Amino acid sequence: MPPRSKENHFVLLLTVGLAGWLVPGGGHFILKERARAIIIFAAIVLTFAAGLYIGSIGVVNPVTGKLAYTAQIMNSPAVAIIGHFTKQGEYSVFGKPNEIGQIYTSITGLLNLLCIVNAVYLAHLKETEHARA
């Protein structure tokens, strides 16, 4: 089997990264790491859902919570959809539930970013090992 070109390698890495952002664990799923993908998906989605449950969807606020929103957007493009609904300020939440919900949802975004980086790195390793063989 001929080695892949650098363009194909870049396309693979980009596809794995985008899949990991669109669906948490999607990059690992493409790499046939099914068990790891399911664990990542369950951990990130359930923790994000817990943050939304604790603080309501008002914790995803691109207007007043820019720093938290930057971390939250790493979860999935679905966060941008939630942010579109909450940017008018109709879903106000205050106090501890807001803080805890923002922490949960922000942490899941950063965790998903780590998983995306890991999936891209694994794809790179598999390609370089495949090219050597």
Distance separating alpha carbons of residues 65 and 24, to the nearest angstrom: 23
> 59: how many CB neighbours lie within 10 A of its CB?
27
Q: Does some domain include residue 8?
A: no
Structural domain that includes position 109:
21-132
Q: Is 7 helix (H, G, I), strand (E, B) or coil?
A: helix
pLDDT of residue 4: 59
Average pLDDT, the chain: 90
Q: Does some domain include residue 9?
A: no
pLDDT average, residue stretch 82-90: 84
- pLDDT-derived band at 1 (thresholds 50, 70, 90) equals very low
| The overall pTM is greater than 0.85 | yes
Q: How many domains does the structure of the chain reveal?
A: 1
